[in-house]
Structure 1
């Protein structure tokens, strides 16, 4: 029996990752951000694992995920143990890994329709590009549920 994956075109999936750049569907992120299956938040102000606090985790926890997949850059770097406890107190797991592994894990979990948040810490010094008007328009259309150019294929990184 042949199985074919059918992804909802309004589900956000990571299509490409390289250090300093992540493509989610047709959106490009250069700075720290977090996403769920149906929302994107490109204004997450955490640029280093040392900056991570319970206050920065609150917007992620507000999404009511089963687990937060936290990408810490090119290398896996663990946050303070108190942050794991804070997530556990809020009935949420916290998994920490390098950004590339976090992107792959997020795609697998969303393909299983799990409630998950992907939060990636993107260092500021990797050539962050400003968001142009065309990119802003794409993000607005995605937030409104319009997705005309999405290909349901999952691309390898």
Structure 2
């Protein structure tokens, strides 16, 4: 699916997604990644939801987003509290949703100038 937003100058915008890929500023990515308005982390080493550990969110702690949208793949799943404990302790909220829903929600919040991160499992 292609997404359309009128303006996102200087920001990372999710411009499309599909089964096995996400497009950021019209560049296609076929591996899990983290997207923030000013930062793109393309070397997020998450193969699937079941392999998530607290260390996968360490880089987000340094970036200090107000909210992390975790795209869990094609199926909506929830994190065990032990995995997100460090984020919550740092006052960073985390919401789990499908990767497609995380893409759409990220664009809305980013357009509202929110400091949001989308951690997307592809």
Aligned to 1:83: 83
Structure 1 segments of 4+ aligned residues over 2 angstroms from their partners: 5-8, 83-86
Give the Cα–Cα distance (whole angstroms) in 2 for the partners of residues 75 and 54 of structure 1: 20
Q: After TM superposition, give the deviation of residue 106 of structure 1 in Å.
A: 0.2
Cα separation, partners in 2 of 1:107 and 1:8, compared to 1, 3 Å: closer
Aligned to 2:121: 121
Normalized against structure 2, the TM-score is what? 0.90
Give the Cα–Cα distance (whole angstroms) in 1 for the partners of residues 74 and 8 of structure 2: 30
Aligned to 2:24: 24
Aligned to 1:127: none
Alignment of 1:4-153 (within 5 A): 7-122=7-122
Give the Cα–Cα distance (whole angstroms) in 1 for the partners of residues 17 and 76 of structure 2: 16
Give the Cα–Cα distance (whole angstroms) in 2 for the partners of residues 80 and 49 of structure 1: 11
Larger-gyration structure (1/2): 1
Contact kept, 8 Å, 1:12 with 1:39, in 2: the verdict is yes
Give ranges in structure 2 of 5+ residues lacking alignment. Answer: none
Query: In structure 2, the residue corresponding to 1:117 is in which secondary structure?
Result: strand
More strand by share: 2
Q: After TM superposition, give the deviation of residue 54 of structure 1 in Å.
A: 1.3
Query: How big is the alpha-carbon RMSD for the aligned residues of Structure 1 and Structure 2?
Result: 1.4
